Structure 1
């Protein structure tokens, strides 16, 4: 009997070319599919809630696959983790309805961007925290964060050429950000986290938003610039794309966020 198994996955993206299978290197998807194919004794294709770029991490990536194997749910956790490299872990495995789809049924995601603004970054944090040196003032982000929350056309924060803008279907670059926050790590001076929860994200949107907010916080951009950048719908008006190593996909939602 055909089964649909949903996995919740955590991974350190440092050594991978991203989530999706590619010809130029090992992808997280490929590593997990290889383990699943060994367990299920047939070729397995994972369908994920989205993609991540090379060097991006995840605590709660969701993906599903179909199988006729009778392997119990819990065994997909223990069995897969015994086959996978230590930088990929299966956190949960549950059988779901056959019509469930990790991507199309997702209602939102939360991403976290960690960065350090001091002069000298300690080596132990270099894979998970971006080094963005400068005199960062989080209070300068109030106007920008207020401008971002809500439903907007985020064309200014999309990787150039990543979407066919000639297509008339779909929602284009319109997305809704339910919450945007910036918090300081009380135990680590000059360490900050930007967190974004929304109903969907464009290619590299979180990294470009993060780079722009950090530019505002370090006075490289004016405090009131976010509204103008949004209205321009021009990628060239926004800040630089922040490095991939600071970004982590924390959670994928499958229920209403409003």
Structure 2
């Protein structure tokens, strides 16, 4: 794994006009090429806001984002060609079939013809969706929608892939398939940035994690190193609860 950072985040802040306090409070990150980096935190911690800024969905209030040597604020179009995004909310057209959705998103990335259809077929096969590809998405189970949602974000072979809660609300089988395919994608060279509050999944999936709460980074390291750093912790969930406390976050 290269030690060169592919993403450099410097004192990133986001203050929404309607909010009393900042959602993100001056965080800095250096994410290395080819790693699976987990941004972990409870509800309202600032995970999705941070990912949204890194994807260029909205600008930071202050701070800078460099992706693959390119300043996102100055050259957002160039950066967006390098990244894939799999949002937490299902971003599919329910009245189109799974295959039609993927053709649509492929065209958005500039893919077309036989290369696009071959790529769609390959991913449908990998994610166990070939037999249901011509059914409307509205008829899909939650796990099937998640898998199609994932394919839509990776058809163009992104250099960096952002995943916001990619396995939330799915069955164990779908979760396992999604995680295994993401590991394969990472092994082929894609850097993955992943948000979750599913600690056991993150512990086994991520090469390094950062725990965020109330818009600030509380700790960052390899999962096992973090567990060892907090006496009495048996797993990443113990570390998470130690740092973010046990108060309910409704």
TM-score for both structures, normalised by structure 1? 0.23
Q: Which has the higher helix share?
A: 2
Q: Which has the higher strand share?
A: 1
Max Rg structure: 1
